Copies of this chain bind each other. A is one copy, B any other.
């Protein structure tokens, strides 16, 4: 038998708890602020949107202040459909790079919808079901998140209404059909179904929509429809909590490989797949004296960590959410239309931002063409076509492996391959045709964009 390339876990070895990194913080996260009063918001302020379990996980309070949160059995049972996911050693990529580095990747693309997103959609649907919610409302851009909510809602007999950004609704009918196959109701956003949507449609009957508008519609739907709650796919603390199943599994699998990573890498849009893979290794740094480098990889088109400012901003473009302290490019900023749609966000998870601010996590920004070059090299060596988002992590992993070659060091690199690219072949087509632009977002634009934000003394 040749060298091992795949590290599985037995079901009996599968982690049974999520890791709550907030329990290990020396200082708490900055409070979330009500823009009207300037005061921190409390649990009751979030009750119209989320069930109480989710709110308490978000705030890390009560039973959810613990370091580990047991995964409910009903959630675990659904996780088992595709989890534990494999950890792979990328031996053919190592050979192609002629590097002494050992490259490992955690593959989340074999889930029923093709990405890591169901890791949080399932517990969100579960806690809602338990709280008596009958219906979920959410927004989606290209459709990864909407598909995950449709999948999870179906499992718990919840209705799901998905506001899908109009331009994607028109251009990506397959993702839309996927959500319908799962039984969800999909509408192009802006839609006639909400006051916010009607306002934008009145301005422009062919409005292309935006994630910001879709969020506004889903939130309005939630607060105006009985028995309905809101479901979100990234940024929030409870989302990152649920995603830690990725890193907890990876930790155990690295043990089987008899190695511990020197570098852990994830792509960063809102921070959910990044948090999922790195937070258990953050614990190693905060509590066990490990010196692992943890790298967030963002697109140069939306470089919130590397070029943003750490300040209070709204979570959505329509500026209707509470104010959150994060690295931001300004909530009014609309990132360039890169193919990694999941990374087109002006802000970043507050947990990731705090860790970045404190130097626990580092960040790098990469441009679209080098990202697709890495995606194609990975495809031709490892055989899996990555999602453009995940390819950002591959780019950074290859770059680190090449540095290791130069320095002659045997670095152990782990990255999160958060999804497959079977729905993203249009991006590959544009890359092969030489049509991709390498967007750069200049730092001076950021300062203009954040100049008008409300001032918060927190």
Interface residues of A (CB under 8 A from B): 1-2, 5-6, 8, 10-11, 73, 77-78, 80-81, 88, 92, 110, 112, 114, 151, 154-155, 173-175, 177-178, 180-183, 375-376, 379-380, 382-385, 421-423, 425-426, 428-429, 432
Query: CB distance A379 to B181 under 8 Å?
Result: yes
Query: CB distance A6 to B80 under 8 Å?
Result: yes
Query: CB distance B181 to A428 under 8 Å?
Result: yes
Copies in the complex: 2
Question: Given A11-B6, A181-B376, A383 and B173 touching (CB < 8 A)?
Answer: no
Q: List 10 A-B contacts (CB under 8 A).
A: A6-B11, A81-B382, A154-B383, A177-B426, A177-B432, A178-B385, A178-B425, A181-B385, A182-B385, A183-B380
Question: Given A174-B425, A423-B422, A429-B177, A81 and B73 touching (CB < 8 A)?
Answer: no
Query: CB distance A432 to B180 under 8 Å?
Result: yes
Query: CB distance B422 to A178 under 8 Å?
Result: yes
Give complex CA distance A432, B186 in Å: 13
Give complex CA distance A301, B429 in Å: 34
Query: CB distance B383 to A112 under 8 Å?
Result: yes
Give complex CA distance A8, B82 in Å: 11
Which one of B78, B174, B182 lies within 8 Å of A380 (CB-CB)? B182
Least CB distance from A64 to B in Å reads 23
Least CB distance from A354 to B in Å reads 35
Query: CB distance B428 to A177 under 8 Å?
Result: yes
Give complex CA distance A78, B1 in Å: 12
Query: CB distance B112 to A385 under 8 Å?
Result: yes
Contacts of A385 in B (CB 8 A): 112, 178, 181-182
Query: CB distance A425 to B177 under 8 Å?
Result: yes
Least CB distance from A408 to B in Å reads 28
Which one of B8, B73, B151, B432 lies within 8 Å of A8 (CB-CB)? B8
